[in-house]
């Protein structure tokens, strides 16, 4: 079947057309999420129940436009391929969307075989589903793994953006190991630990030769080092991969980081969201770490209890993976039985801890967790999530925007 195993999000308010498209796509083997409003469309793509292979989106909707959906998504994620459905009077808008990154458009009315052929052309490559989980199991993590594989086949510089403790150095190494440069050196220059100078950078570049130069914490390079790096782009024999903190754009605005260097790097960018936004990945990562740590113990533990896993999923993880590993090490050293329990991982649950969130921070954290849970439970259906949370759809939408969901 043409669409076997593919997940398509359909954003279409017309019942007749929507039913027709859903029926045909499902006959072709696709898994279809059909929503009829712009606000639901954003949630269905941003927090999907499984990775989205393509979006079919009407440009005119009762509560907004396809252009607004695409613009909203593009601010926070790399959106999946969009096939826009448009009336004759909206062609200019459709062309503008293609220039902004949309994949294709079709004008109404259209024949179903032509629609299926156009959709098949823009489908996201299926290779990501075949990749083993390396970053996590969430749609966001699967997207990162697919980007790593894609960038490994290219030769341009790569920027990996994210907070500390998110494995940015491991992602850089994986890109190198999957690339044709794998037999050449992988040289890391850590600007957090070494002098962020032109001399340190030039020494690392010399060692990299025809391999990969990884600059960890590129935002810490001094002006002379930035000049050296920019001057070498496109001329040096090595490939450059760099990591940075989430808000390096603020450094560019303040004039402490070269804008032309940032833009050259950001052409191929991987954004690694914090574990606070990926509860299922925190649980998955805890399992991976536990198995590795447990294998080296004289007396092996049986595992993490369900309550411990639930606590791990709900925790905000300000230290990301580093904090998770530190907490697991402690928990495994103090566990009194065969199982690890919540208080082993989070001793502050027992003692109360000295550091407390403000009431406003605690309320915001709790609201974020509950909204994410509700959206996951409903497959991104905002109205259904609002019903579960006992708030209006408008209220939930406003909170989602405020919390960056």
- How many angstroms separate the Cα of 361 from the Cα of each of 170, 273, 323, 403? 32, 20, 20, 12
Nearest to 39 by CA among 363, 365, 375: 375
pLDDT at 405: 60
Percent of the chain with pLDDT over 90: 34
How many Cα atoms occupy the beta-carbon half-sphere of 139 within 13 Å? Answer: 18
Percent of the chain with pLDDT over 70: 91
**What tens digit of pLDDT does each residue of 246-304 get?**
888 888 888 989 999 998 888 788 999 999 888 889 999 999 999 999 987 888 898 99
The larger pLDDT score, comparing residue 393 to residue 274, is at: 274
Per-residue pLDDT reduced to its tens digit, 66-86: 999 998 888 777 788 999 998
Confidence class for position 125, pLDDT limits 50, 70, 90: low
Instruction: Answer whether residue 2 shows pLDDT above 80.
Output: no
- Give mean pLDDT, residues 157-176: 93
DSSP β-ladder status, 239-244 and 158-161: parallel
Q: Does domain 7-124 have CATH number 3.40.50.2300?
A: yes
Q: Which CATH class is domain 136-273?
A: alpha beta
**What is the rounded average pLDDT of the residues 346-354?**
65
User: How confident is the prediction for the chain on average, in pLDDT?
Assistant: 85
359-402 fold? Arc Repressor Mutant, subunit A (1.10.10)
- Cβ atoms of 231 and 203 within 8 Å: the answer is no
The confidence score (pLDDT) of residue 77 equals: 75
Least confident of 1-5, 39-43, 186-190, 285-289: 1-5
- Would you kindly state where each structural domain of the chain is located, as residue ranges? 7-124, 136-273, 276-351, 359-402
Per residue in 25-37, pLDDT (tens digit) is 999 889 999 999 9
CATH topology identical between 136-273 and 276-351: no
Architecture of domain 276-351: Orthogonal Bundle (1.10)
Average pLDDT rounded to a whole number, residues 151-166: 90
Query: Pick from 278, 305, 279: which is nearest to 290 by CA?
Result: 305
pLDDT tier at 185 (50, 70, 90 boundaries)? very high
């Amino acid at each position: 079947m043409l669409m076997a195993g593919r997940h398509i999000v359909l954003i279409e308010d017309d019942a007749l057309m929507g039913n027709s498209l859903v029926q045909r796509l499902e006959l072709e083997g696709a898994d279809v999420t059909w929503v009829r409003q712009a606000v639901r469309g954003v949630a269905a793509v941003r927090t999907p129940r499984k990775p989205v292979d393509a979006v079919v989106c009407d440009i005119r909707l009762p509560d907004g436009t396809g252009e607004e959906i695409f613009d909203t998504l593009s601010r926070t994620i790399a959106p999946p391929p969009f096939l826009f459905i448009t009336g004759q009077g909206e062609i200019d808008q459709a062309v503008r969307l293609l220039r902004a990154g949309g994949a294709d458009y079709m004008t109404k009315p259209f024949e179903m075989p032509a629609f299926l052929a156009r959709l098949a052309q823009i489908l996201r490559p299926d290779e990501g589903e075949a990749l083993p989980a390396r970053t996590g199991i969430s749609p966001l993590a699967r997207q990162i793994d697919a980007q790593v594989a894609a960038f490994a086949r290219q030769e341009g510089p790569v920027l990996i953006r994210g907070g500390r403790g998110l494995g940015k150095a491991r992602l850089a190494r994986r890109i190198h190991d999957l690339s044709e440069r794998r037999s050449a050196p992988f040289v890391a220059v850590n600007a957090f630990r070494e002098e962020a100078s032109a001399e340190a950078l030039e020494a690392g570049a010399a060692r990299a030769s025809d391999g990969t130069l990884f600059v960890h914490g590129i935002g810490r390079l001094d002006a002379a080092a930035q000049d050296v790096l920019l001057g070498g782009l496109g001329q040096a024999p090595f490939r450059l991969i760099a990591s940075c903190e989430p808000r390096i754009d603020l450094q560019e605005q303040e004039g402490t980081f070269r804008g032309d260097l940032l833009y050259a790097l950001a052409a191929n960018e991987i954004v690694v969201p914090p574990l606070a936004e990926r509860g299922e990945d925190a649980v998955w990562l805890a399992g991976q770490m536990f198995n590795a740590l447990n294998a080296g113990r004289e007396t092996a533990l049986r595992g993490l209890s369900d309550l411990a896993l639930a606590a791990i999923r709900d925790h905000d993880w300000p230290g990301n993976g580093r904090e998770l590993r530190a907490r697991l090490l402690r928990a495994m050293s103090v566990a009194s039985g065969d199982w690890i329990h919540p208080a082993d991982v989070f001793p502050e649950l027992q003692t109360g801890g000295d550091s407390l969130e403000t009431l406003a921070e605690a309320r915001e954290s709790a609201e974020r967790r509950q909204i994410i849970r509700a959206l996951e439970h409903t497959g991104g259906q905002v109205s259904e999530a609002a019903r579960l949370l006992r708030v209006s759809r408008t209220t939930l939408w406003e909170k989602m925007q405020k919390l960056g969901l």
